[in-house]
Chains A and B, each alone.
Chain A
Protein backbone atom coordinates (compact mmCIF):
# COMPACT_ATOMS: atom_id res chain seq x y z
CA UNK A 1 0.00 0.00 0.00
CA UNK A 2 2.99 2.28 0.43
CA UNK A 3 3.21 2.37 -3.34
CA UNK A 4 -0.05 4.29 -3.44
CA UNK A 5 1.77 7.28 -1.97
CA UNK A 6 -1.09 8.82 -0.03
CA UNK A 7 1.14 11.33 1.68
CA UNK A 8 2.82 12.91 -1.33
CA UNK A 9 2.87 16.69 -0.75
CA UNK A 10 0.21 18.52 -2.72
CA UNK A 11 1.51 21.32 -4.95
CA UNK A 12 -1.69 23.32 -5.01
CA UNK A 13 -0.32 26.23 -7.00
CA UNK A 14 0.92 23.95 -9.76
CA UNK A 15 -2.41 22.14 -9.88
CA UNK A 16 -4.31 25.43 -10.17
CA UNK A 17 -2.07 26.57 -12.96
CA UNK A 18 -2.46 23.26 -14.75
CA UNK A 19 -6.25 23.45 -14.44
CA UNK A 20 -6.27 26.93 -15.98
CA UNK A 21 -4.15 25.75 -18.89
CA UNK A 22 -6.49 22.80 -19.51
CA UNK A 23 -9.51 25.11 -19.37
CA UNK A 24 -7.94 27.38 -21.96
CA UNK A 25 -7.13 24.46 -24.23
CA UNK A 26 -10.66 23.06 -23.92
CA UNK A 27 -12.19 26.43 -24.77
CA UNK A 28 -10.00 26.61 -27.89
CA UNK A 29 -10.97 23.07 -28.87
CA UNK A 30 -14.64 23.84 -28.43
CA UNK A 31 -14.34 26.94 -30.58
CA UNK A 32 -12.41 25.17 -33.33
CA UNK A 33 -14.76 22.21 -33.43
CA UNK A 34 -18.02 24.03 -32.67
CA UNK A 35 -18.93 21.20 -30.38
CA UNK A 36 -21.26 20.95 -27.42
CA UNK A 37 -20.57 20.28 -23.73
CA UNK A 38 -18.18 23.09 -22.90
CA UNK A 39 -19.94 23.90 -19.61
CA UNK A 40 -19.86 20.23 -18.58
CA UNK A 41 -16.17 19.99 -19.45
CA UNK A 42 -15.19 23.10 -17.52
CA UNK A 43 -16.99 21.98 -14.37
CA UNK A 44 -14.89 18.82 -13.94
CA UNK A 45 -11.41 20.04 -14.88
CA UNK A 46 -10.25 20.52 -11.30
CA UNK A 47 -11.19 16.91 -10.55
CA UNK A 48 -9.27 15.71 -13.61
CA UNK A 49 -6.26 17.84 -12.74
CA UNK A 50 -6.08 16.59 -9.16
CA UNK A 51 -6.49 13.02 -10.39
CA UNK A 52 -3.96 13.03 -13.21
CA UNK A 53 -1.33 15.31 -11.68
CA UNK A 54 -1.48 14.10 -8.10
CA UNK A 55 -3.62 11.09 -7.26
CA UNK A 56 -3.37 8.41 -9.90
CA UNK A 57 -0.61 5.84 -9.95
CA UNK A 58 -0.18 5.81 -13.71
CA UNK A 59 2.51 5.82 -16.35
CA UNK A 60 1.44 7.38 -19.65
CA UNK A 61 4.16 5.33 -21.35
CA UNK A 62 2.58 2.10 -20.06
CA UNK A 63 -1.15 2.75 -20.41
CA UNK A 64 -2.01 -0.96 -20.18
CA UNK A 65 0.01 -1.68 -17.03
CA UNK A 66 -2.20 -4.15 -15.17
CA UNK A 67 -1.35 -2.50 -11.85
CA UNK A 68 -2.26 1.04 -12.89
CA UNK A 69 -4.99 3.01 -11.18
CA UNK A 70 -8.03 3.32 -13.46
CA UNK A 71 -9.86 6.60 -14.04
CA UNK A 72 -13.11 6.38 -15.98
CA UNK A 73 -14.75 9.52 -17.28
CA UNK A 74 -18.25 8.13 -16.98
CA UNK A 75 -19.65 11.52 -18.04
CA UNK A 76 -18.23 10.93 -21.50
CA UNK A 77 -19.67 14.16 -22.86
CA UNK A 78 -16.80 15.95 -21.10
CA UNK A 79 -14.56 14.35 -23.73
CA UNK A 80 -12.72 17.60 -24.47
CA UNK A 81 -11.62 17.78 -20.84
CA UNK A 82 -10.26 14.23 -20.76
CA UNK A 83 -8.58 14.62 -24.17
CA UNK A 84 -6.74 17.77 -23.11
CA UNK A 85 -5.84 16.13 -19.80
CA UNK A 86 -4.50 12.93 -21.37
CA UNK A 87 -2.55 14.80 -24.03
CA UNK A 88 -0.91 17.15 -21.54
CA UNK A 89 -0.19 14.22 -19.24
CA UNK A 90 1.70 12.56 -22.09
CA UNK A 91 -0.61 9.82 -23.36
CA UNK A 92 -0.57 11.22 -26.89
CA UNK A 93 0.85 14.33 -28.57
CA UNK A 94 -0.81 17.62 -27.72
CA UNK A 95 -0.88 18.49 -31.43
CA UNK A 96 -3.47 15.76 -31.85
CA UNK A 97 -5.93 17.93 -29.92
CA UNK A 98 -6.28 19.92 -33.15
CA UNK A 99 -7.97 16.88 -34.68
CA UNK A 100 -10.79 16.95 -32.14
CA UNK A 101 -14.11 16.42 -33.89
CA UNK A 102 -12.44 16.63 -37.33
CA UNK A 103 -12.85 14.02 -40.06
CA UNK A 104 -10.68 10.91 -39.78
CA UNK A 105 -9.41 11.47 -36.25
CA UNK A 106 -9.32 9.59 -32.96
CA UNK A 107 -10.93 12.34 -30.90
CA UNK A 108 -14.69 12.08 -31.40
CA UNK A 109 -17.19 13.97 -29.29
CA UNK A 110 -17.26 11.05 -26.87
CA UNK A 111 -14.22 8.96 -25.90
CA UNK A 112 -13.72 5.89 -28.11
CA UNK A 113 -13.09 2.23 -27.23
CA UNK A 114 -9.68 0.68 -27.86
CA UNK A 115 -8.44 3.61 -29.89
CA UNK A 116 -6.83 6.25 -27.71
CA UNK A 117 -4.21 5.55 -25.01
CA UNK A 118 -5.42 6.48 -21.55
CA UNK A 119 -9.12 6.14 -22.28
CA UNK A 120 -10.14 3.32 -19.96
CA UNK A 121 -13.68 2.96 -21.26
CA UNK A 122 -15.77 4.37 -24.06
CA UNK A 123 -18.45 6.48 -22.47
CA UNK A 124 -21.09 8.86 -23.66
CA UNK A 125 -24.13 6.83 -22.85
CA UNK A 126 -24.59 7.69 -19.20
CA UNK A 127 -24.69 5.13 -16.42
CA UNK A 128 -22.11 2.80 -17.94
CA UNK A 129 -18.80 3.91 -16.46
CA UNK A 130 -19.47 2.92 -12.88
CA UNK A 131 -20.46 -0.72 -13.56
CA UNK A 132 -17.42 -1.10 -15.83
CA UNK A 133 -15.22 0.40 -13.14
CA UNK A 134 -16.70 -1.95 -10.58
CA UNK A 135 -15.86 -4.87 -12.84
CA UNK A 136 -12.28 -3.63 -12.96
CA UNK A 137 -12.20 -3.30 -9.17
CA UNK A 138 -13.56 -6.81 -8.62
CA UNK A 139 -11.09 -8.13 -11.18
CA UNK A 140 -8.28 -6.64 -9.13
CA UNK A 141 -9.54 -8.44 -6.06
CA UNK A 142 -9.88 -11.76 -7.91
CA UNK A 143 -6.40 -11.42 -9.38
CA UNK A 144 -4.79 -10.17 -6.17
CA UNK A 145 -3.71 -6.94 -7.83
CA UNK A 146 -3.69 -3.73 -5.83
CA UNK A 147 -4.99 -0.75 -7.76
CA UNK A 148 -7.72 1.79 -7.37
CA UNK A 149 -10.62 2.66 -9.64
CA UNK A 150 -12.11 6.14 -9.97
CA UNK A 151 -15.28 6.99 -11.85
CA UNK A 152 -16.34 10.57 -12.54
CA UNK A 153 -20.09 10.88 -12.95
CA UNK A 154 -22.22 13.86 -13.85
CA UNK A 155 -25.13 14.83 -11.66
CA UNK A 156 -27.55 14.23 -14.52
CA UNK A 157 -26.02 10.79 -14.85
CA UNK A 158 -27.41 10.01 -11.41
CA UNK A 159 -30.79 9.86 -13.18
CA UNK A 160 -29.78 6.51 -14.65
CA UNK A 161 -31.03 3.44 -12.80
CA UNK A 162 -27.86 1.55 -13.63
CA UNK A 163 -25.91 3.95 -11.39
CA UNK A 164 -27.95 2.84 -8.41
CA UNK A 165 -27.77 -0.83 -9.33
CA UNK A 166 -24.03 -0.36 -9.38
CA UNK A 167 -24.01 1.61 -6.12
CA UNK A 168 -25.75 -1.20 -4.23
CA UNK A 169 -23.54 -3.83 -5.80
CA UNK A 170 -20.30 -2.02 -4.96
CA UNK A 171 -21.21 -1.57 -1.32
CA UNK A 172 -22.35 -5.19 -0.99
CA UNK A 173 -18.98 -6.17 -2.44
CA UNK A 174 -17.18 -3.81 -0.01
CA UNK A 175 -15.09 -2.34 -2.81
CA UNK A 176 -12.94 -0.02 -0.75
CA UNK A 177 -10.58 0.60 -3.67
CA UNK A 178 -13.38 2.28 -5.58
CA UNK A 179 -14.13 6.01 -5.62
CA UNK A 180 -16.97 7.83 -7.35
CA UNK A 181 -16.77 11.56 -7.88
CA UNK A 182 -20.05 13.24 -8.78
CA UNK A 183 -19.61 16.49 -10.69
CA UNK A 184 -22.57 18.15 -8.99
CA UNK A 185 -22.92 21.31 -11.08
CA UNK A 186 -26.69 21.44 -10.51
CA UNK A 187 -27.54 21.45 -14.21
CA UNK A 188 -28.33 18.76 -16.70
CA UNK A 189 -28.68 19.19 -20.43
CA UNK A 190 -31.86 21.24 -20.45
CA UNK A 191 -32.81 21.99 -16.87
CA UNK A 192 -31.79 22.27 -13.24
CA UNK A 193 -30.90 18.81 -11.99
CA UNK A 194 -33.07 18.89 -8.91
CA UNK A 195 -36.08 20.13 -10.86
CA UNK A 196 -35.72 17.17 -13.24
CA UNK A 197 -35.19 14.18 -11.00
CA UNK A 198 -34.72 14.91 -7.31
CA UNK A 199 -31.09 14.19 -6.50
CA UNK A 200 -31.01 16.03 -3.19
CA UNK A 201 -29.88 15.08 -0.66
CA UNK A 202 -27.30 13.48 -2.94
CA UNK A 203 -24.62 12.61 -0.39
CA UNK A 204 -27.27 11.07 1.85
CA UNK A 205 -28.47 8.99 -1.07
CA UNK A 206 -25.03 7.54 -1.67
CA UNK A 207 -24.63 7.02 2.07
CA UNK A 208 -27.94 5.19 2.20
CA UNK A 209 -26.68 2.95 -0.60
CA UNK A 210 -23.77 1.87 1.59
CA UNK A 211 -21.04 4.27 0.52
CA UNK A 212 -18.74 6.44 2.56
CA UNK A 213 -19.97 9.71 1.08
CA UNK A 214 -18.47 13.15 1.55
CA UNK A 215 -19.32 16.55 0.16
CA UNK A 216 -16.40 18.48 -1.21
CA UNK A 217 -15.66 21.70 -3.09
CA UNK A 218 -15.16 20.38 -6.61
CA UNK A 219 -12.93 23.31 -7.52
CA UNK A 220 -10.58 23.03 -4.54
CA UNK A 221 -7.76 21.09 -6.17
CA UNK A 222 -5.96 20.65 -2.86
CA UNK A 223 -8.99 19.18 -1.13
CA UNK A 224 -9.74 16.99 -4.14
CA UNK A 225 -6.17 15.72 -4.31
CA UNK A 226 -6.23 14.87 -0.62
CA UNK A 227 -9.63 13.15 -0.63
CA UNK A 228 -9.01 11.20 -3.82
CA UNK A 229 -5.60 10.06 -2.62
CA UNK A 230 -7.11 8.70 0.56
CA UNK A 231 -8.50 5.60 -1.14
CA UNK A 232 -8.97 3.17 0.49
CA UNK A 233 -9.79 5.32 3.49
CA UNK A 234 -10.23 2.68 6.16
CA UNK A 235 -14.03 2.79 6.14
CA UNK A 236 -14.22 -0.57 4.40
CA UNK A 237 -16.65 1.00 1.94
CA UNK A 238 -16.47 2.47 -1.52
CA UNK A 239 -16.13 6.24 -1.36
CA UNK A 240 -18.39 8.80 -3.01
CA UNK A 241 -17.18 12.38 -3.26
CA UNK A 242 -20.08 14.69 -4.01
CA UNK A 243 -18.14 17.49 -5.65
CA UNK A 244 -20.04 20.77 -5.64
CA UNK A 245 -19.11 22.48 -8.87
CA UNK A 246 -20.14 25.31 -11.14
CA UNK A 247 -21.01 24.52 -14.73
CA UNK A 248 -18.76 26.56 -16.99
CA UNK A 249 -16.32 27.15 -14.11
CA UNK A 250 -13.47 29.58 -14.70
CA UNK A 251 -15.08 31.97 -17.16
CA UNK A 252 -17.41 34.58 -15.72
CA UNK A 253 -19.79 34.72 -18.65
CA UNK A 254 -20.10 30.93 -18.82
CA UNK A 255 -20.45 30.12 -15.13
CA UNK A 256 -23.83 28.65 -14.18
CA UNK A 257 -25.27 29.57 -17.59
CA UNK A 258 -26.66 26.39 -19.09
CA UNK A 259 -26.61 27.77 -22.64
CA UNK A 260 -23.01 26.60 -22.58
CA UNK A 261 -24.17 23.02 -22.43
CA UNK A 262 -24.55 23.29 -26.19
CA UNK A 263 -23.02 26.49 -27.49
CA UNK A 264 -19.44 27.08 -28.55
CA UNK A 265 -17.52 30.32 -27.97
CA UNK A 266 -16.73 32.81 -30.73
CA UNK A 267 -13.13 33.85 -31.42
CA UNK A 268 -13.65 37.00 -29.35
CA UNK A 269 -15.09 34.99 -26.48
CA UNK A 270 -12.08 32.68 -26.55
CA UNK A 271 -9.76 35.65 -26.12
CA UNK A 272 -11.86 37.07 -23.30
CA UNK A 273 -12.10 33.69 -21.56
CA UNK A 274 -8.37 33.04 -21.73
CA UNK A 275 -7.68 36.46 -20.32
CA UNK A 276 -9.92 35.69 -17.37
CA UNK A 277 -8.05 32.45 -16.86
CA UNK A 278 -4.77 34.33 -16.74
CA UNK A 279 -3.64 32.86 -20.06
CA UNK A 280 -2.38 34.90 -22.95
Chain B
Protein backbone atom coordinates (compact mmCIF):
# COMPACT_ATOMS: atom_id res chain seq x y z
CA UNK B 1 0.00 0.00 0.00
CA UNK B 2 2.76 2.43 0.90
CA UNK B 3 4.37 2.26 -2.54
CA UNK B 4 1.01 2.94 -4.17
CA UNK B 5 0.54 5.87 -1.79
CA UNK B 6 3.92 7.43 -2.63
CA UNK B 7 3.39 6.91 -6.34
CA UNK B 8 -0.14 8.29 -6.35
CA UNK B 9 0.83 11.27 -4.22
CA UNK B 10 3.62 12.11 -6.64
CA UNK B 11 1.17 12.02 -9.52
CA UNK B 12 -1.37 14.14 -7.68
CA UNK B 13 1.37 16.53 -6.66
CA UNK B 14 2.32 17.04 -10.29
CA UNK B 15 -1.11 18.49 -11.00
CA UNK B 16 -1.90 20.12 -7.68
CA UNK B 17 0.63 22.67 -6.36
CA UNK B 18 -1.18 22.74 -3.02
CA UNK B 19 -0.04 19.24 -2.07
CA UNK B 20 2.78 19.15 0.48
CA UNK B 21 4.28 15.93 1.84
CA UNK B 22 5.31 15.93 5.49
CA UNK B 23 7.18 12.88 6.69
CA UNK B 24 7.86 11.94 10.29
CA UNK B 25 11.38 10.84 9.40
CA UNK B 26 10.25 7.69 7.63
CA UNK B 27 10.08 6.36 4.09
CA UNK B 28 13.73 6.23 3.14
CA UNK B 29 13.76 6.51 -0.68
CA UNK B 30 9.98 6.05 -0.77
CA UNK B 31 9.46 9.69 -1.69
CA UNK B 32 12.50 10.22 -3.93
CA UNK B 33 10.32 10.89 -6.96
CA UNK B 34 8.12 13.33 -5.07
CA UNK B 35 11.20 15.11 -3.68
CA UNK B 36 12.81 15.33 -7.10
CA UNK B 37 9.66 16.72 -8.67
CA UNK B 38 8.66 19.04 -5.80
CA UNK B 39 11.67 19.83 -3.64
CA UNK B 40 10.00 22.68 -1.77
CA UNK B 41 6.92 20.57 -1.08
CA UNK B 42 8.58 17.69 0.71
CA UNK B 43 9.59 18.29 4.31
CA UNK B 44 11.06 15.78 6.70
CA UNK B 45 9.58 16.97 9.99
CA UNK B 46 11.72 14.66 12.07
CA UNK B 47 10.59 12.57 15.00
CA UNK B 48 8.25 15.30 16.20
CA UNK B 49 4.72 14.34 15.29
CA UNK B 50 2.95 16.93 17.41
CA UNK B 51 4.79 19.69 15.61
CA UNK B 52 4.33 18.01 12.23
CA UNK B 53 0.58 17.89 12.70
CA UNK B 54 0.35 21.48 13.91
CA UNK B 55 2.52 22.62 11.00
CA UNK B 56 0.23 20.75 8.62
CA UNK B 57 -2.79 22.50 10.10
CA UNK B 58 -1.13 25.90 9.68
CA UNK B 59 -0.35 25.04 6.06
CA UNK B 60 -3.91 23.89 5.44
CA UNK B 61 -5.21 27.15 6.93
CA UNK B 62 -3.00 28.91 4.40
CA UNK B 63 -4.47 27.18 1.36
CA UNK B 64 -2.17 24.18 1.04
CA UNK B 65 -3.10 20.48 1.17
CA UNK B 66 -0.54 18.89 3.46
CA UNK B 67 -0.21 15.15 4.03
CA UNK B 68 1.31 13.90 7.27
CA UNK B 69 2.84 10.45 7.17
CA UNK B 70 4.52 8.02 9.52
CA UNK B 71 3.85 4.75 11.36
CA UNK B 72 0.26 4.52 12.57
CA UNK B 73 0.52 5.09 16.33
CA UNK B 74 2.88 8.01 15.87
CA UNK B 75 0.81 9.87 13.30
CA UNK B 76 -2.45 9.26 15.17
CA UNK B 77 -2.37 8.69 18.91
CA UNK B 78 0.97 10.43 19.57
CA UNK B 79 -0.42 13.68 18.20
CA UNK B 80 -4.11 13.10 18.78
CA UNK B 81 -4.72 16.51 20.32
CA UNK B 82 -3.12 18.25 17.35
CA UNK B 83 -5.35 16.23 15.02
CA UNK B 84 -8.40 17.14 17.08
CA UNK B 85 -7.68 20.77 17.89
CA UNK B 86 -5.46 22.02 15.09
CA UNK B 87 -6.84 20.09 12.12
CA UNK B 88 -10.39 18.98 12.92
CA UNK B 89 -11.59 21.89 15.05
CA UNK B 90 -10.27 24.35 12.46
CA UNK B 91 -11.72 22.23 9.62
CA UNK B 92 -8.25 22.44 8.14
CA UNK B 93 -7.87 20.00 5.23
CA UNK B 94 -4.97 17.99 6.59
CA UNK B 95 -4.67 14.44 5.27
CA UNK B 96 -3.21 12.04 7.80
CA UNK B 97 -1.81 8.91 6.19
CA UNK B 98 -0.62 6.09 8.39
CA UNK B 99 1.44 3.06 7.52
CA UNK B 100 1.41 -0.23 9.43
CA UNK B 101 -2.16 -0.16 10.71
CA UNK B 102 -3.42 -2.95 12.91
CA UNK B 103 -0.83 -5.68 13.18
CA UNK B 104 0.99 -4.94 9.93
CA UNK B 105 4.12 -4.29 11.98
CA UNK B 106 3.40 -7.16 14.37
CA UNK B 107 7.06 -8.03 14.65
CA UNK B 108 7.96 -4.58 15.93
CA UNK B 109 5.88 -5.12 19.04
CA UNK B 110 2.92 -3.33 20.62
CA UNK B 111 4.65 0.07 20.50
CA UNK B 112 4.16 -0.16 16.74
CA UNK B 113 0.80 -1.95 16.66
CA UNK B 114 -2.26 0.17 16.03
CA UNK B 115 -5.56 -1.35 17.00
CA UNK B 116 -7.13 1.75 18.57
CA UNK B 117 -6.61 4.48 15.99
CA UNK B 118 -10.00 4.16 14.28
CA UNK B 119 -11.71 4.49 17.65
CA UNK B 120 -9.84 7.66 18.51
CA UNK B 121 -10.11 9.35 15.14
CA UNK B 122 -13.71 8.59 14.37
CA UNK B 123 -14.74 10.18 17.67
CA UNK B 124 -13.41 13.53 16.45
CA UNK B 125 -15.90 15.86 14.74
CA UNK B 126 -15.16 16.79 11.11
CA UNK B 127 -12.88 13.79 10.61
CA UNK B 128 -13.22 11.40 7.71
CA UNK B 129 -11.80 7.95 8.43
CA UNK B 130 -10.85 5.68 5.55
CA UNK B 131 -9.19 2.26 5.77
CA UNK B 132 -8.52 1.13 2.19
CA UNK B 133 -8.73 -2.58 1.52
CA UNK B 134 -5.87 -2.80 -0.95
CA UNK B 135 -3.32 -0.68 -2.79
CA UNK B 136 -5.85 0.31 -5.45
CA UNK B 137 -8.20 1.62 -2.82
CA UNK B 138 -5.32 3.60 -1.32
CA UNK B 139 -4.91 5.41 -4.63
CA UNK B 140 -8.62 5.98 -4.96
CA UNK B 141 -8.92 7.22 -1.37
CA UNK B 142 -6.07 9.66 -1.82
CA UNK B 143 -7.64 11.06 -4.97
CA UNK B 144 -10.99 11.37 -3.24
CA UNK B 145 -9.74 13.19 -0.13
CA UNK B 146 -7.87 15.72 -2.27
CA UNK B 147 -11.14 16.53 -4.01
CA UNK B 148 -12.90 17.43 -0.78
CA UNK B 149 -12.03 20.18 1.63
CA UNK B 150 -11.84 18.62 5.07
CA UNK B 151 -9.48 16.75 7.32
CA UNK B 152 -9.17 13.05 6.59
CA UNK B 153 -7.41 9.98 7.87
CA UNK B 154 -6.22 7.23 5.54
CA UNK B 155 -5.20 4.07 7.37
CA UNK B 156 -2.87 1.82 5.38
CA UNK B 157 -1.27 -1.56 5.86
CA UNK B 158 2.37 -1.69 4.78
CA UNK B 159 3.46 -3.25 1.51
CA UNK B 160 2.90 -6.28 -0.66
CA UNK B 161 -0.68 -6.97 0.43
CA UNK B 162 -2.76 -9.08 -1.97
CA UNK B 163 -4.62 -6.96 -4.52
CA UNK B 164 -8.36 -7.37 -4.45
CA UNK B 165 -9.24 -4.92 -7.18
CA UNK B 166 -7.73 -5.11 -10.66
CA UNK B 167 -7.25 -1.38 -10.97
CA UNK B 168 -8.41 1.80 -9.32
CA UNK B 169 -12.07 1.20 -8.49
CA UNK B 170 -13.84 3.71 -10.70
CA UNK B 171 -16.89 3.72 -8.43
CA UNK B 172 -14.86 4.69 -5.36
CA UNK B 173 -16.56 7.31 -3.25
CA UNK B 174 -15.87 8.32 0.34
CA UNK B 175 -18.64 6.81 2.44
CA UNK B 176 -19.78 4.36 -0.25
CA UNK B 177 -18.84 0.75 0.39
CA UNK B 178 -17.82 -1.47 -2.54
CA UNK B 179 -19.27 -4.95 -3.00
CA UNK B 180 -16.47 -7.35 -3.86
CA UNK B 181 -18.42 -10.62 -4.02
CA UNK B 182 -22.13 -11.39 -3.97
CA UNK B 183 -23.90 -13.78 -1.66
CA UNK B 184 -27.23 -14.03 0.09
CA UNK B 185 -26.87 -15.45 3.62
CA UNK B 186 -24.08 -13.52 5.25
CA UNK B 187 -22.88 -10.01 4.66
CA UNK B 188 -19.22 -9.51 5.54
CA UNK B 189 -18.21 -5.89 5.94
CA UNK B 190 -14.45 -5.58 5.94
CA UNK B 191 -12.41 -2.48 6.55
CA UNK B 192 -8.73 -1.92 5.87
CA UNK B 193 -6.08 -4.49 5.25
CA UNK B 194 -8.32 -7.35 6.37
CA UNK B 195 -10.08 -7.29 3.02
CA UNK B 196 -8.12 -10.19 1.47
CA UNK B 197 -8.88 -12.32 4.56
CA UNK B 198 -12.55 -11.39 4.35
CA UNK B 199 -12.62 -12.35 0.68
CA UNK B 200 -11.00 -15.65 1.55
CA UNK B 201 -13.54 -16.25 4.34
CA UNK B 202 -16.37 -15.56 1.93
CA UNK B 203 -14.90 -17.98 -0.58
CA UNK B 204 -14.55 -20.72 2.04
CA UNK B 205 -18.08 -20.22 3.34
CA UNK B 206 -19.52 -20.62 -0.13
CA UNK B 207 -17.41 -23.62 -1.09
CA UNK B 208 -17.40 -27.31 -0.28
CA UNK B 209 -21.15 -27.76 -0.53
CA UNK B 210 -21.92 -25.30 2.29
CA UNK B 211 -25.40 -23.94 2.24
CA UNK B 212 -24.28 -20.40 3.03
CA UNK B 213 -23.10 -17.78 0.61
CA UNK B 214 -21.48 -14.55 1.69
CA UNK B 215 -21.56 -11.10 0.24
CA UNK B 216 -18.18 -9.49 0.86
CA UNK B 217 -18.03 -5.73 1.03
CA UNK B 218 -15.03 -3.46 1.21
CA UNK B 219 -16.32 -1.05 3.83
CA UNK B 220 -13.39 1.29 3.32
CA UNK B 221 -14.90 4.35 4.96
CA UNK B 222 -15.57 4.00 8.67
CA UNK B 223 -16.69 7.62 8.92
CA UNK B 224 -19.03 8.66 7.45
CA UNK B 225 -20.75 5.27 7.43
CA UNK B 226 -22.44 4.03 4.27
CA UNK B 227 -25.92 3.94 5.77
CA UNK B 228 -27.56 2.63 2.59
CA UNK B 229 -25.25 -0.34 2.63
CA UNK B 230 -25.92 -0.99 6.32
CA UNK B 231 -29.68 -0.65 5.94
CA UNK B 232 -29.67 -3.10 3.09
CA UNK B 233 -27.42 -5.52 4.97
CA UNK B 234 -29.47 -5.54 8.15
CA UNK B 235 -32.71 -5.83 6.17
CA UNK B 236 -31.73 -8.64 3.85
CA UNK B 237 -29.10 -10.70 5.64
CA UNK B 238 -29.63 -12.86 8.73
CA UNK B 239 -25.99 -12.28 9.68
CA UNK B 240 -23.88 -9.17 9.26
CA UNK B 241 -20.19 -9.58 10.07
CA UNK B 242 -17.69 -6.80 10.58
CA UNK B 243 -14.07 -7.62 10.01
CA UNK B 244 -11.14 -5.41 10.96
CA UNK B 245 -7.59 -5.51 12.21
CA UNK B 246 -8.54 -3.20 15.04
CA UNK B 247 -9.92 -3.55 18.52
CA UNK B 248 -13.54 -4.58 18.84
CA UNK B 249 -13.75 -1.51 21.06
CA UNK B 250 -14.42 1.54 18.94
CA UNK B 251 -13.68 0.30 15.44
CA UNK B 252 -15.92 -0.55 12.49
CA UNK B 253 -17.78 -3.18 14.52
CA UNK B 254 -18.60 -0.64 17.18
CA UNK B 255 -19.64 1.92 14.61
CA UNK B 256 -22.00 -0.56 12.97
CA UNK B 257 -23.41 -1.67 16.34
CA UNK B 258 -24.06 1.96 17.27
CA UNK B 259 -25.72 2.54 13.93
CA UNK B 260 -27.91 -0.57 14.26
CA UNK B 261 -28.94 0.42 17.77
CA UNK B 262 -29.71 3.99 16.76
CA UNK B 263 -31.69 2.97 13.71
CA UNK B 264 -33.92 0.23 15.07
CA UNK B 265 -32.08 -2.70 13.54
CA UNK B 266 -31.51 -6.01 15.23
CA UNK B 267 -28.00 -5.86 16.65
CA UNK B 268 -28.26 -9.59 17.41
CA UNK B 269 -27.65 -10.09 13.70
CA UNK B 270 -24.22 -8.56 14.09
CA UNK B 271 -20.99 -10.50 14.57
CA UNK B 272 -17.95 -8.33 15.21
CA UNK B 273 -14.54 -9.75 14.37
CA UNK B 274 -11.51 -7.77 15.48
CA UNK B 275 -8.62 -7.78 17.90
CA UNK B 276 -9.15 -8.44 21.61
CA UNK B 277 -8.82 -5.88 24.38
CA UNK B 278 -5.18 -6.67 25.13
CA UNK B 279 -1.69 -6.01 23.86
CA UNK B 280 -0.16 -8.70 21.68
CA UNK B 281 3.28 -9.18 23.15
CA UNK B 282 4.63 -12.26 21.36
CA UNK B 283 7.24 -11.88 18.65
CA UNK B 284 6.36 -12.89 15.14
CA UNK B 285 5.05 -11.42 11.93
CA UNK B 286 1.57 -10.33 10.96
CA UNK B 287 0.46 -13.76 9.73
CA UNK B 288 1.38 -15.32 13.07
CA UNK B 289 -0.37 -12.57 15.02
CA UNK B 290 -3.49 -12.97 12.91
CA UNK B 291 -3.52 -16.72 13.50
CA UNK B 292 -3.15 -16.21 17.23
CA UNK B 293 -6.06 -13.77 17.27
CA UNK B 294 -8.38 -15.65 14.94
CA UNK B 295 -8.14 -13.18 12.08
CA UNK B 296 -7.14 -15.35 9.14
CA UNK B 297 -9.65 -16.00 6.38
CA UNK B 298 -9.98 -19.61 7.42
CA UNK B 299 -10.58 -18.72 11.07
CA UNK B 300 -13.07 -16.02 10.17
CA UNK B 301 -15.01 -18.50 8.05
CA UNK B 302 -14.97 -20.92 10.96
CA UNK B 303 -16.20 -18.29 13.42
CA UNK B 304 -19.01 -17.28 11.09
CA UNK B 305 -19.97 -20.88 10.45
CA UNK B 306 -20.12 -21.60 14.18
CA UNK B 307 -22.27 -18.53 14.75
CA UNK B 308 -24.70 -19.55 12.01
CA UNK B 309 -25.11 -22.99 13.53
CA UNK B 310 -25.29 -21.79 17.09
CA UNK B 311 -28.25 -19.61 16.22
CA UNK B 312 -30.03 -22.12 13.99
Contacts and interface: CB of A to CB of B under 8 A. Distances in A.
A in complex with B: yes
Interface of A: 66, 113-114, 120-122, 125, 127-128, 130-143, 161-162, 165-166, 168-169, 172-173
Contacts, number: 101
Interface in B37-80: 40-41, 43, 45-46, 48, 50-64, 66
Contact of A139 (B54, B63, B89): B63
Contacts of A125: 81, 85
Contact of B62 (A127, A140, A166): A140
Contacts of A121: 58, 61, 86, 90
Given A131-B53, A132-B54, A169-B55, A143 B62 contact: yes
A143 B17 CA distance: 9
B296 interface: no
A138 B51 contact: no
Contacts of A133: 58
A135 B58 contact: yes
A141 B60 CA distance: 14
6 contacts: A113-B89, A114-B90, A128-B86, A161-B50, A169-B46, A173-B43
B20 A142 contact: yes
B19 to A, nearest CB: 10
Contacts of A168: 46, 48
Given A113-B89, A114-B90, A131-B82, A142 B64 contact: yes
Contact of A113 (B20, B45, B63, B91): B91
Given A114-B91, A142-B41, A131 B54 contact: yes
Contacts of B90: 113-114, 121-122
A104 B59 CA distance: 31
Contacts of B56: 135
A127 B50 contact: yes
Nearest to B60: A135
Contact of A134 (B20, B51, B82): B51
Contact of B50 (A120, A140, A142, A165): A165
Contacts of A162: 50-51, 54, 82
B43 A138 contact: yes
B63 A132 contact: no
Contacts of B46: 165, 168-169, 172
Contacts of B41: 142
B40 A134 contact: no
A134 B85 CA distance: 16
Q: Which of A122, A130, A161, A165 has the most CB of B within 10 A?
A: A165
B58 A139 contact: yes
B91 A135 contact: no
A181 B50 CA distance: 21
Given A114-B90, A141-B40, A165 B48 contact: yes
A168 B86 CA distance: 20
A136 B92 CA distance: 12
A166 B59 contact: no
B262 to A, nearest CB: 28
Contacts of B20: 142
Contacts of A166: 48, 51, 54-55
The list of the 3 closest CB pairs from A to B, nearest first, reads: A135-B58, A131-B54, A139-B62
B50 A134 contact: no
Contacts of A139: 58-59, 62-64
Contacts of A134: 51, 54-55, 58
B55 A138 contact: yes
Q: Which of B52, B58, B89 has the most CB of A within 10 A?
A: B58
A135 B62 contact: yes
A134 B43 CA distance: 13
B62 A131 contact: no
Contacts of B81: 125, 128
A76 to B, nearest CB: 10
Contacts of A169: 45-46, 48, 51, 55
Given A114-B90, A140-B62, A128 B85 contact: yes
Nearest to A167: B51
A114 B61 CA distance: 10
A122 B63 contact: no
Contacts of A113: 89-91
Nearest to A124: B85
Given A139-B63, A142-B20, 20 more contacts: A113-B90, A125-B81, A127-B50, A130-B54, A131-B51, A131-B52, A131-B86, A132-B55, A135-B54, A135-B55, A135-B60, A136-B59, A137-B58, A138-B59, A139-B58, A140-B62, A143-B63, A161-B50, A166-B51, A169-B51
